[in-house]
Amino acid sequence: MSVGTSIQTINFNKPVQQKAQMTFRSQAVPFKDYPPDTVEINGKKKTGMSNGAKWGIGTGVVLGLGALAYVLTRGKAGSKQVQQLAEHLDFKPAKTIQEAKSFAKDRLGVHYNEIEDLETMNFFNEWLTGIHNKCKVIDKSSYPKFISNTTTLEDDALACLCDGVLKNGNQEGYVMGVNMQLLKNFGSSMDKWICDGSVIAKNKAGKYVITNEAYNTEFTKDLVRRMNEYNPSTTTFKEKNRIILDIKGLQDGKIVNGKQQEIRYSDFSYLNHELGHLRHQECINNYDMMKKVEEFKTLGKPVSDITQEFVTNKQIQQTARKVSDYATESPLEFVAETFSQLMEGKTFPDDVMALYKKYNGPMI
């Protein structure tokens, strides 16, 4: 899941090569579209999960955030902006849309565009507040300045961080796109995600059931219960997000002694992964030399020595696998995966942290 000026999509059954573009319907907010693309997180399907969940990435014009740090206005050490960010913020779900907008704008420096959904705003405000409190030295250019409804994302992509800078008056920054249409049609999306019924299917009564004994765990039972309880009028954005992440947790887990060992992703894990890419780019000058092998090939360029060493050195691969399978794809993915888990309070052995330091992973 490489990012830069990033895109973050969660894709469940679209071909890797397909591309989507973000557009903004508001004519008052000029925006230049850049095409993001998507990749599978582990590079292969899991048995029984026929169209595995995918994380999306943004490559856009600079392939990996190359120029964004030079475009955004950054707070200087000791500036009023950074000093304000050092203050702890208490998050409490807003009761009105206007209250949510005001909190985002006045306390986080973030603006909503074409989104009038309170639950969605509360979800992203909670994530951004957590970033603010955890990484007190990060200035406001280091997380999305605009959160916008997307009108042309693939229909199974939940959200994206987009390549490109949105400008509105004297404000500029990168964009988190939210697929509000997907949220509206969430029930039908669940039917697509279970696909061939080899793990979860609908019975004659129209209820979701587990069809593979290897996946008959408390985790999957609880997921199926929540899928069956889905109600378009009452299921919250956060609950929908949890269903998506748990479906992905099934795909990314492993079968051990005949039972699925799922991965329990946190609510904000994919957002923190993308934040890790952004922060990493700000730390180094050779970000584009740490991409995945297939990204170099797509560009028609030779694989860099940095990536070549990473993917061929057995010791490096063993260390990276302690973080996740996806962390073995490239130095960029290793850093982003490690950063995301560090943000959530996980600790790693010395060899992981030494490798993280080798690639100049951002400290928290």
Give CA–CA dist 342/169, Å, rounded: 36
Give CA–CA dist 125/94, Å, rounded: 9
Give CA–CA dist 248/260, Å, rounded: 13
Contacts of 22 (CB under 8 A, 6+ apart): 31, 33, 36, 148, 150, 151, 152, 153, 160, 162, 175, 177
With beta carbons less than 8 A apart as the criterion, state whether 54 and 43 touch.
no
Read off the pTM: 0.73
With beta carbons less than 8 A apart as the criterion, state whether 163 and 58 touch.
yes
Helix (H) or strand (E) holding 55: strand 54-57
Give CA–CA dist 157/57, Å, rounded: 11
Single-letter residue type at 208 = Y
Give CA–CA dist 256/359, Å, rounded: 32
The alpha carbon dihedral of 319, 348, 253, 293 has a sign of negative
With beta carbons less than 8 A apart as the criterion, state whether 287 and 278 touch.
no
| Residue 59: both structure tokens together | 């490559």
Give CA–CA dist 74/62, Å, rounded: 19
User: Nearest CA to 160 among 339, 333, 329, 5?
Assistant: 5
- The b/e string for 183-209 (b: 16+ C-beta within 10 A; e otherwise) is beebeebbeebbbeeebbbbeeeeebe
Spans of the chain, pLDDT less than 70: 1-86, 136-142, 151-157, 161-165
Give 122-144 pLDDT, tens digit per residue: 999 999 998 888 876 555 556 77
Give 229-287 pLDDT, tens digit per residue: 999 999 998 999 999 899 989 888 889 999 999 999 999 988 888 788 878 887 889 99
Other Cβ atoms closer than 10 A to 212: 18
| Residue 256: both structure tokens together | 């051990």
Q: How long a stretch of residues is the chain?
A: 364
Give CA–CA dist 306/315, Å, rounded: 14
Give CA–CA dist 261/305, Å, rounded: 35
Distances (CA, A) of 338 to 265, 278, 285, 354: 13, 13, 20, 12
User: Nearest CA to 75 among 126, 8, 145?
Assistant: 145
What is the reported pLDDT for 235? Answer: 92
User: Nearest CA to 223 among 196, 194, 195?
Assistant: 194
